[in-house]
Amino acid sequence: MRSKPNSEAMADMYRSDPALALDVINAILEDSDQAELLSVLRQLAQAFGGVQAVAEQAHLNPTQLYRTLSPQGNPALSSLTAILKAMGLQLAVRPLATSCSA
């Protein structure tokens, strides 16, 4: 039996459990790890029909999307929000948890 590459296996997991994808993305955003975020977004793109399909829904050039989600990518906020929207997601802002009480 041939095993799947890790990114393909993760895409399958995200496809079958969208809540997992949200938890992973939010954890990455808390850690501010851009490279890891782009890696997960590439996996999510696979889960949502591939980069071509996500690019069409996000109204982005597929080549641009491949570059944006590459390990060296640095997506503009407009691109990131378009990509997330194509996947049925959005960015949200919330206050930081404080360790001291007022």
Residue 13 has a pLDDT of 86
Q: 8-45, pLDDT tens digit by residue? A: 888 888 888 888 888 888 899 888 888 999 999 999 99
Compute the distance between CA of residue 40 and CA of residue 67 in angstroms, rounded to an integer: 14
Q: 60-93, pLDDT tens digit by residue? A: 999 999 999 998 899 999 999 999 999 888 888 8
Domain boundaries, the chain: 6-86
H/E element, 44: helix 34-47
What does residue 12 show for φ and ψ, rounded to 5 degrees? -60, -40
Angular region, 58: left φ>0, alpha ψ -120 to 50, beta rest: alpha
Percent of the chain with pLDDT over 70: 92
Average pLDDT, the chain: 86
The predicted model scores a pTM of 0.79
